[in-house]
Amino acid sequence: MTSRFARFGNDLHTGERSIDFVGMRRYWLIIASLMMIVAVIIPIVKGGFNFGIEFRGGSQFQVSGVIDAEQSIATAAVESVVPDMVARVSIVGSEGVRVQTDQLTDDETKNVATALAVGYGVDESEVTHSFIGPTWGADVSRQAIQGLAVFLTLALLLMAFYFRTWKMSLAAILSLVHDLIITAGVYALTGFEVTPAALIGFLTILAFSLYDTVVVFDKIKENTAEEATLNRRTFAETVNLGVNQTLVRSINTGVVAVLPVGTILFVGAFVLGADTLRDISLALLIGIILGTYSTIFVGAPLYAWFRQGEPEIRKHDAVTLATRTAVSQG
Amino acid sequence: MAARPTPVKKAWRSLTWLLIIIAGLAAINAGGALWANGTWVPKLALDLEGGTQIILAPQLESGQTVTTDQLNQAVAIIRQRIDASGVSEAEINTQGQNVVVAIPGQEVDEETRNRVESSAKLEFRAVITSDSAAVSSMGETPSPSPSPTSEATDSPEGTPSPSSSASPEATPTPTPSNASDPAWVTPELQKEFDDFDCADLDSANANIAPADKPLITCEINGTLTDALPDYKYILGPVEVSGERIADATNGLVANSQGISTNQWGVNIVFDAEGAKEFGEVTTRLYGLTGPQHQFAIVLDGKVISAPTTNAIITDGKPQITGNFTQESSKTLADQLKFGALPIGFVVQSSETISATLGTSQLQSGLIAGILGLILVMVYTLFQYRALGFVTIASLVAAGVITYLVITVLSWREGYRLSLAGVAGLIVAIGFTADSFIIYFERVRDELRDGRLLVSAVEAGWKRALRTVYAAKGTNLLAAVVLYVVAVGNVRGFALTLGITTVIDVLIVVMFTHPMLQLLARTRFFGDGHPLSGLDPMAHGAVYRGAGEFRVRGDIKGKSAATSVREAARRQTIAERKAAEAAELTQSKGKKS
């Protein structure tokens, strides 16, 4: 398998085997646009996101070390203190129960905690309680949006400077925006809870998606610089070669990045029930897969598309194609 | 294969420096652990250790902002309050506009919680109208006549109808000459006062009332002493604010002969400016009569005491006397002393995490981390064979440095590792391993182009390093932006992301590359053992004999299509080979 994979890498490197990512750019870009449109429509149709308690505000209790995780016990415990309160009860991991209510007073909180401890037959120290004001989540998201704007601007400038072309920079940023919008769409579609931890994961997608794009673009830049004076490949073909040459790297990187994140997700969601871990890793998992995908199917095709109209490139491509026809005929 | 001394020497030098860095970090840590209050393990945040976290948000009128000075002052005061309640190890920080109080370990008791949560904005306002008499008096120390003034008479309550705002917007038509001027009381204000029900005080937002407007508020006595009714007041604008109090103590009141009486009182010491302001106020009030002789101490919009002015006090050391018990005088003194926050705060979130939940979260994090690491190791071994061990060793080296840096940070800078931080570290495993992948793939590319391993390592490194710098640069940028903009958990996550990015580059440069330089000179790797992961045969290079490899394409010369200009240009072997391959297939096609 390794040798076959290595040979696959060799063939991609020499161009003996080539997957035409860039040549079919029109289709990939149409697919990307459609997916983004759907990702925007979903939350509108479904009426927004499933925001976590940090955004809604309210009180939350978490009971650990529960032997019989029966939801009705929690409902009864809350009602015994505040009769009309509707509690959202969920089972966390194998022996945890999470109860969310509207905001309770300090006294009510204490009493509910006691009632939960009695109901589930655990010590009171096993009951964790928290209260979150409705403005907290708004504060955090405002900062996240600020951070996003600042980061996008700086990254756009930095990359334009590094690659010496704003078109590459723009293509990278657009493929990042693609990742962010679709990740958000997945959250809206599946109804995964949007928590501050998910927001952290969401922001890390920024780092990963751009990172991945920079690595591939670096190779593309190297190839196009060398190819500019030759008439062997059209511009789009050169871009495509770069993508193919880094494909093995992209796959390996994607797998290596997904492995620990997937582990966090698995451990966080199914084994031990640590919400923060689950939320961060879920957003990241979606983001890493999308980030790897978008570099190849969105970033590189976009870059080729942005530059295909340039007179110099047109000329180069025309000469290349003419030479090629001449060679195959002669 | 003649070993060139320079790269080998360089490699050893790099590895030595890395060792020195690690030893240095370990020494700092050891020093901290042995002689200072450092530890060998990083401190944990509340979500991993258990404890209570309370986030206080400032209560602002629209358009109002908090200054850094005000926040720092608030932090200092809240710290005093918590220290006074005997809780140790509490950490109070600001996050944006918010004050975050973190008390690790066990759950805090009700009293501490109240101390922290009471926002306690203290103001001194002159009384304009009240519907009752005063209960205590204000005099100089030693007070010439420590007589409690007339006992309160029952106050007729206004029609109990809820009022939406305690801070009337209407400005009086005749401009008031001073803060006690009844001209402040417009007909609207009077009506509001008449309608105001003290039971609605909590919802009346009196605590965020503007300082330069009159205020309707109450003195609630019902819960303290049953004997006294609640009083309703119209107060003038703020004349002295709570920050001016330098100290407040309770003690037995001495009479003019300096002999202690059995009466409890509260002694206030103002700072210089406060003394001046207070002097002016008492000078004016001393000459007035009725309720305007009185003076209200307002805490969070509620009157805690409204003594009468028995003397002109210019030394900034007033004494409040009245119906105090030892306990109630202590409470008032504490409120005056610790309650002097420059701005009101409200609890935005309060979270208590049991120690068990913390431990289990930490366990989850560690298990996820170890499992993730093992999977990454297995995958790299599978993909890169023996070269995978270089990855593993690099990851271990990166792990050691990261651990030491975080421990030092936790000791020197008070950094606490949170669950989000742990997640950041685990995610970093993947990011760090990627630097090695980029490097290895570049080396393989060079092998494919027919280079020998030793030169492939050098050539691949040059190209890989540039990519690694650029890619890690974007990562670092993301981390820095997140750190600067964000608060709380996001910040902890950004910090670990940034630290690991820097360490990652350090390791690639100082460990992975030198290791590969050295390994390239071993028989196992240099001769391209099939298990080395750098087997030239597996990468399409052709053995030419005499210890050299040649690329297939190089054997044949180029055909007519090649121009002189092209040949002069430095073309990469990869591309030449690709062109050759294309031509070969073409000519093959023609033959058949």
- Candidates A267, A278, A319, partner chain B, best to mutate (most B CBs within 10 A): A267
Mean pLDDT of B416-433: 82
Distance CA A78, CA A96 (A): 17
Residues B363, B368, B371, CA angle at the centre, nearest 5°? 120
Question: Is a pLDDT exceeding 60 seen at residue B330?
Answer: yes
**Does position B273 have pLDDT exceeding 60, yes or no?**
yes
Looking at residue B178, its pLDDT comes to: 72
Predicted local distance difference test score (pLDDT) of residue B20: 94
Q: Which residue has the tokens 């930490």?
A: B362
Are the beta carbons of A207 and B474 separated by less than 8 Å?
A: yes
Q: Is any Cβ of chain A less than 8 angstroms from the Cβ of B543?
A: no
Q: Is A246 touching B (CB cutoff 8 A)?
A: yes
Residues of chain B found within 8 Å of residue A219, distances taken between Cβ atoms: 467
Apex CA B365: angle with CA B361 and CA B368, to 5°?
Answer: 135
Q: Tell me how close the Cα of A272 comes to any Cα of chain B, in angstroms.
A: 6
Residue located via tokens 């200092």: B76
Closest residue in B to A323 (Cα–Cα): B561
pLDDT (0 to 100) of residue B506 = 94
Q: CA of A34, closest CA in chain B: separation in Å?
A: 28
Residue B221: per-residue pLDDT: 66
Task: Kindly state the tokens that stand for A224.
Answer: 């196009």
Give the percent of chain B with pLDDT over 90.
10
Distance CA B439, CA B471 (A): 13
Q: Taking CA atoms, what residue in B is nearest to A18? A: B578
Neighbours of B381 (CB within 10 A): 16
Give CA–CA dist A308/B427, Å, rounded: 37
Classify each residue of A146-165 as buried b or exposed e, where b means 16 or more C-beta atoms within 10 Å of its C-beta.
ebbebbbeebbebbbebbeb
Residue B419 has pLDDT above 90, yes or no: no
Shortest Cα–Cα distance, B380 to chain A (Å): 8
Quote the mean pLDDT of chain B.
Answer: 73
A32 CA: distance to closest CA in chain B (Å): 24
> b/e for B559-573, b at 16 or more Cβ within 10 A?
eeeeeeeeeeeebeb
The verdict on B355 touching A (C-beta cutoff 8 Å) is yes
Residue A302 sits at the chain B interface (C-beta within 8 Å): no
- Measure A219 CA to nearest chain B CA, in Å: 8
N residues, chain B: 592
pLDDT at A272: 62
- Say yes or no for a CB contact (<8 Å) between B474 and A158: yes
Looking at residue B565, its pLDDT comes to 41
Q: Do B471 and A257 touch (CB under 8 A)?
A: no
Between A and B, how many residue pairs show a Cβ–Cβ distance under 8 A? Answer: 287
- What pLDDT sits at residue B341? 64
Tens digit of each residue's pLDDT (9 = 90 or more) over B13-57: 999 999 999 999 999 888 888 887 777 888 887 778 878 888 888
Check residue B148 and give its pLDDT.
35
Binary contact (B586, A328; C-beta < 8 A): yes
* Nearest beta carbon to residue A16 from set B539, B572, B581: B581
Chain B: residue whose CA lies nearest to A251: B437
pLDDT in tens, B105-164: 656 666 677 667 665 667 888 888 877 533 444 444 333 333 333 333 333 333 333 333
d(CA B265, CA B61): 35
Per-residue pLDDT band at B170 (split at 50, 70, 90): very low
Kindly report the length of chain A: 330
Q: What is the pLDDT of residues B337-354, one digit of tens each?
A: 766 566 777 777 777 777
Q: Tell me whether A134 touches chain B (CB under 8 Å).
A: no
CA distance B531 to chain A (A): 10
Q: Which residues of chain A have pLDDT under 50?
A: 1
Residues of chain B contacting A198 with CB distance shorter than 8 Å: none
Ranked by mean pLDDT, the top range of A54-68, B29-43, B64-78, B467-481 is: B467-481
CA distance B145 to chain A (A): 44
| Contact (CB<8Å) A130/B350 | yes
Q: Is the pLDDT of residue B437 over 60?
A: yes
Can you tell me the mean pLDDT for B367-390? 87
Lowest mean pLDDT among B131-135, B275-279, B362-366: B131-135
- The pLDDT score that the predictor gives to residue A121 is 83
Q: Is pTM beyond 0.80 here?
A: no
DSSP structure class, residue A100: E
The residue of chain A with its CA nearest to that of B348 is A133
- Chain B residues inside the 8 Å CB shell of A323: 561
Which chain B residues are within 8 Å of A132, Cβ to Cβ? 348-349, 351
Nearest C-alpha in B relative to A128: B353
Q: What residues form DSSP beta bridges with B143?
A: none
**Quick check: B372 and A264 CB within 8 A?**
yes
In chain B, residues 49-68 whose CB comes closer than 8 Å to chain A: 55, 57
Distance from the Cα of B540 to chain A's closest Cα (Å) equals 6
- Give Cα A80 distance to the centre of its chain: 42
Distance from CA of B546 to the nearest CA of A (A): 24
> What is the average per-residue pLDDT within B426-447?
85
- On chain B, the residues whose CB falls within 8 A of the CB of A284 are 427
Strand B231-241 and strand B215-219: pairing? antiparallel
Measured between beta carbons, which residues in chain A are less than 8 angstroms from residue B380?
256
Q: Do B420 and A200 touch (CB under 8 A)?
A: yes
| Interface membership of B349 toward A (CB under 8 Å) | yes
Sign of the four-CA dihedral A196, B76, B33, B107: negative
Selected residue with higher pLDDT from B167 and A233: A233
- Tokens representing B231? 């009083």
- How far apart are the C-alpha atoms of B7 and B17, rounded to whole Å? 15
- Please compute the mean of the pLDDT values over residues B80-99 and round it to a whole number: 72
Instruction: Give residues 484 to 503 of B whose Cβ lies within 8 Å of A.
Output: 484-490, 493, 497
